[in-house]
A and B are shown apart, each in its own frame.
Chain A
Amino acid sequence: MRRREALRVVANESVGPYSLIRVERGSLDPGSPGQFFMLEAPGRPLPRPMSLCQAPPGELGFLLESIGPGTRALAAVEPREKIHVFGPLGNGYRLDVERPLLVGGGIGVAPFPYLSAVLGSPPAILGFRSDWHAEAASLVPNAEVVVEPTLVTERLRPDHDVLACGPEPMLEAVRELAPNAQLAWEAPMACGYGACYGCSVEIDGVLKRLCVAGPVLEAA
C-alpha cells in the first residue's frame, strides 16, 4: 500500500558520480524490486521518480545521477533533513524467473542491488561510460562490468531470463536479442500515480502511461 511521508535523511554518499541517499523507512513499504518512489526535490515544484536501490532494515536507499535541477537538489540533501517520499508505485519485475540475468547501463543499475538481494545474487552485466561511473557496480554482487566502447549487448548470454534497466537505446538493443526480457523504462513524471498522463512513452507505436503500465514492461 502506497503512502506519502516526510522521512529523515540518514546518509548521502557518493558512489562514483552518483549519489546514494538513504532515508528512514517510516511506515513506507519497500515494495517489490523495480517499483519506484516519488522523492521531493527540495525547492522544486515537482518530485522525482526513483526506483528503490536498497532496502536495508528500517531504511530505503535511492541511487541517483545529478542531471538537472531536481536531481541536483536531491543530491544536495543533508543527513537529518526531511524529504517527502511517496510509494511504492508502479509495477516491478516479475520474479518468477528460472535463470535471471541482470543487464544494466549507467544509472540504470539503480534497482539492481535490491533486485539482486531478492533473487539471491544472480549474475549481472553492467555497462558504464567510464571507470568512474563503473564504481556503482560495487553495489551489485556477481557483476561483470564493461566500459564503453564495449556494450552490454556484446556480453548477453542466451538462455537467460533478462531483467534490464538502462537508457532507451540499450533497452531497444536488449529486446532485439532477448525478446523475453523484462525492461524497466524511464520518462519524465509529474505524479507517479496515474494523475498527470505525462509519462507516456511510445513503444512500437503505442503510447503507454509508464507509471501505471510500467515502469517494468515485457519486451515482447
Chain B
Amino acid sequence: MILNASGCLDALEAPEVARALDVFVTKTVTPQPREGNRPVRIAETEAGMLNSIGLENPGIDGLLREKLPRLAELGVPLWVSVGGFAAADYAQLCAALADRPEVSAIELNLSCPNVEEAPESAAELVAAARPQTRKTLYAKLSPAATDLPETARAVQAAGADGLSLVNTIRGLALDDETLQPRLGHELGGYSGPALKPIALAAVYQCYRATGLPIVGMGGIATGRDALDFLAAGASSIALGTVLFGDPDAPGRVRRELAEELASRGLSGPEAATGLAHGAKPASVA
C-alpha cells in the first residue's frame, strides 16, 4: 500500500494525486482550529527541507462538517491524523471519529516537532485514545525517542494496532548572511532524502520489537527506497517530501517498486516485508 505522509498532500486541492494513492491520510487535526505558525514556514537544505507549519487545521468540528464529506467523495480509503496537547485531546478526537464510516483508520500523531508536546508519554496517549474507538489505531512516532523499540513496545501494549515510522526530526537552518534562523518558528521538522537511513533504522528496530504492521516513511523518493522500507519491516510505505517536487510520485514509485519486486522474483510487497531480517522468500533459491 502506498499512502501519503500526513501533512504532505491536500486531497481537496489535488484530488488526482490522492486518487493515485491506496490511502489518503489527512493533515493532523486538533480539537480546536489552528492557524499554524507565522511565516517563514519552510526552508530547503542541502539534502532535505525543514518545515514549521505548526498543525494548521480547521479543528475537529471543521473537519467533520466541511472536509470529511468531500474527502469521502474521492473514493480513496481515508485515515485521519489526530494530534493534541494532552491525553484528553486524543481521547476526544478518537471519540469524535469513532462513528464516522468514512474513516477507515486513525493515526495518532504523537510526535509533531513543531508544537508543544503533551506531558504524557506516547503509551499514555495511546491508552487514552484506545477505549474511544474500535477503529484501527496507528501510532506515529519520532525517531528521536531515546529508546524507540521500547516506546514501540509500550504503545503496542497500550493498544496500538500499527506504527507509522517516522515523523520529521527537529532541525535548524541559518540564513547565509544574517546567521539568523531561516524559519519564523526557528526550529522545524527535517524531512527528505537525508531522513531515509534514520527512518529505515526505526522501521528495522520496531519490526523486531513489536511485529506490528508498519507504515514506513522518511525520504522515500523511488521504488528502490520503498523496497528498502519493506525489507526493513514495513508493510506499507508513505510518500512525504517527494510529493512536493513530484506530484506524479505515487504512480511512479508504484511502477518502480513493481519492477524492483519482479526483478528479484518477489510475488508482491508482502513477500518483501522483513527480508532484511534474514528471512528468504520462498521464490528465491
Q: Which residues of A contact B (CB under 8 A)?
A: 4, 38, 40, 44-47, 68-70, 84, 86, 187-191, 193-202, 207, 212
Contact = CB atoms under 8 A, between A and B. Distances in A.
A189 to B, nearest CB: 8
Majority DSSP secondary structure for residues of B touching A: loop
B39 A86 contact: no
> Chain A CB within 10 Å — which of B43, B49, B176 has the most?
B49
Interface in B1-55: 7-10, 13-14, 17, 27, 35-36, 38-49, 51, 53
Q: Interface of chain A, helix or strand or loop or mixed?
A: loop
Contacts of B77: none
A4 B246 contact: yes
A196 B39 contact: no
Contacts of B246: 4, 84
B243 A44 contact: no
B8 A40 contact: no
A159 B180 CA distance: 43
Contact of B42 (A4, A196, A202, A212): A196
B39 A202 contact: yes
Interface of B: 7-10, 13-14, 17, 27, 35-36, 38-49, 51, 53, 56, 176, 192-193, 241, 243-248
A83 to B, nearest CB: 12
B8 A195 contact: yes
A45 B48 contact: yes
B47 A45 contact: yes
Contact of B10 (A44, A45, A46, A195): A195
A5 B48 CA distance: 22
A38 B42 contact: no
11 contacts: A45-B48, A84-B245, A190-B42, A190-B44, A191-B245, A196-B51, A196-B53, A196-B244, A198-B53, A200-B36, A207-B35
B247 A193 contact: yes
Given A46-B44, A197-B7, A190 B244 contact: yes
A38 B243 CA distance: 13
B193 A198 contact: no
Contacts of B17: 195
Contacts of B243: 191, 195
Contacts of A38: 245
B188 to A, nearest CB: 10
A69 B175 CA distance: 12
B256 to A, nearest CB: 16
Contact of A200 (B10, B39, B192, B193): B39
B41 A45 contact: no
A65 to B, nearest CB: 15
B245 A194 contact: no
Nearest to B182: A188
A66 B9 CA distance: 29
A213 to B, nearest CB: 11
Contact of B245 (A46, A187, A198, A212): A46
A200 B245 contact: no
A186 to B, nearest CB: 11
A197 B27 contact: yes
Contacts of B56: 197, 200, 207
Given A45-B241, A46-B49, A207-B35, A194 B10 contact: yes
